[in-house]
A and B are shown apart, each in its own frame.
Chain A
Amino acid sequence: MELKKTGMAGTLESSDILVVIEPKNSEGIDILLESVVIKQFGDQIRKIISNTLRELGINQVIVRANDKGALDCVIKARVQAAVSRATGSKECFWRVVES
């Protein structure tokens, strides 16, 4: 999928994560992460973000995320929502998510 614009999803409320996804000119997934639990879970959060993006075929992207202790499935949901907003596509989204 191609990112057409910046997409944002999530909030700064407790147990949530705010994810902003911007298109990038070059290959690679850059993640700028802030988290209340960065010491314990920083690496895991990054992994979930990049795995979710790869599943969706996104690999030229800058991600800015501010985590307030979100569960893995919440992180995944917010990344997917931000991508769907940035690509403007809903079509086939669930099937991609499914596989």
Chain B
Amino acid sequence: MEFYHFVEQTIQLDNREERARVEHFLANHSLRLEADVDYSIAIYRQGMVVATGSLAGNVLKCIAVDPEYEGRGIAGRVVSRLVAEAYSRGLLHLFIYTKPENAGKFSQLGFYKIIEVPAGVVLMENRPDGITAYLKQLKKYKRSANMVASIVVNCNPFTKGHQYLIEKAARACELLHLFVVWEDRSVFPPEVRYQLVKDGIKHLPNVEVHKGKDYIISNVTFPTYFIKSPDEAVKTQSLLDIKIFAKFIAPALGIKRRYVGTEPDCPVTGRYNQTMKTVLPGYGIEVIELPRLSIKGVVVSASQVRKHLRQKELHLVKELVPEITYNFLRSKDADSILEKIGNEAGGGLIGAKKNRNGRHT
């Protein structure tokens, strides 16, 4: 009854000592405790860590088992605990990143492969029909047209810059599929961003607006987009996200072109755009970079808008956003969002902590 020898513990991530023990164990297995992790457990044997695993939202990550204890069901125990915790948080659709050599092990633990990228990463999910169900949903919007294009936007919040890009793209093709990033990690919640875009492009009859969900620039496919750490992971994740788009989403809708705004400032988005230009043509998808709208010589950006909001310069915001966004910002519904933006400026310890996951700029 080996059961008794292994003690399971939830790691208090704020406790420096506990955290260090797990980090050290992961380092021995060439892994890091990633910044966006919000729940970790460790399994101890005689006071030593022999296995660990973490959750970052609906993604299981940073999982390692001491090879000496492999084959004793420890990995199953770690994954079970993480799955149970995710379910208790209401997260039902779960994902896992792993190395190709471990994919078999996780498929025994109820995960199904979505895609593998050359850098040696496999993305898996806990439902056999996860991505196919999403594609089936999308296919309802498939229409034959001469040129079907797509564009992916976060719109945090929807600006005149976004409107300009979308109008330009829509004019240059017959049908434009627009995906709104669905992750709830921007100041403006997904429902709000989606609604503003949808209302803001009502005048364009050939645009279909979709929710990006887990498979397009999400906490799953592209976590560094939200944490903005300019490291190696960006490269791998960009590739993974773009490959899912190329292999699954584009064919489902017959997309032959992807539009993107030029990105002079943010290195992560810059790298993403670069990867797109390298990868997508190989799948018969053209990438067109559109110059962004400037007003009074300044490029319009959502981060500029949030900066003005933070400084309570609503009159300056008015110049940068469509009427629909401006009206929303002045409505009661925006109160809590504006308060959140205000707090971000506060700086200091609390501000920094709140912002641990970072916000896309």
Direct contact between A and B judged by beta carbons closer than 8 A: yes
Interface residues of A (CB under 8 A from B): 6, 8, 10-14, 16, 18, 20, 32, 34, 36, 64, 66, 68
What chain A residues lie within 8 Å of B144 (beta carbons)?
A: none
Binary interface profile of B, 99-112, with partner A (CB < 8 Å = 1, else 0)?
Answer: 00000000011100
Minimal beta-carbon separation of A48 from chain B (angstroms): 19
Q: A8-B84, A11-B84, A12-B79 are in contact. Are A34 and B92 (CB under 8 A)?
A: no
Q: Does B87 contact A (CB under 8 A)?
A: yes
Interface residues of B (CB under 8 A from A): 73, 76-77, 79-81, 83-84, 87, 92, 108-110, 127-128
A13's contact among B73, B87, B92, B127, by CB below 8 Å, is which?
B73
Q: Are A34 and B76 in contact (CB under 8 A)?
A: no
Dominant SS at the A interface? loop
Q: Are A14 and B76 in contact (CB under 8 A)?
A: yes
**Beyond the given A6-B87, A8-B87, could you list 11 further A-B residue pairs with CB under 8 A, ordered by the A residue number?**
A6-B92, A8-B92, A11-B84, A12-B108, A13-B73, A13-B77, A13-B80, A14-B73, A32-B128, A66-B109, A66-B110
- Give the docked Cα–Cα distance between A18 and B76 (Å): 11
Minimal beta-carbon separation of B73 from chain A (angstroms): 5
What chain A residues lie within 8 Å of B83 (beta carbons)?
A: 8, 12, 18
Considering the complex, give the chain A residue whose CB is closest to the CB of B88. A8
Q: Are B127 and A11 in contact (CB under 8 A)?
A: no
- Give the docked Cα–Cα distance between A36 and B128 (Å): 17
Q: Are B110 and A34 in contact (CB under 8 A)?
A: yes
Q: Are B87 and A12 in contact (CB under 8 A)?
A: no
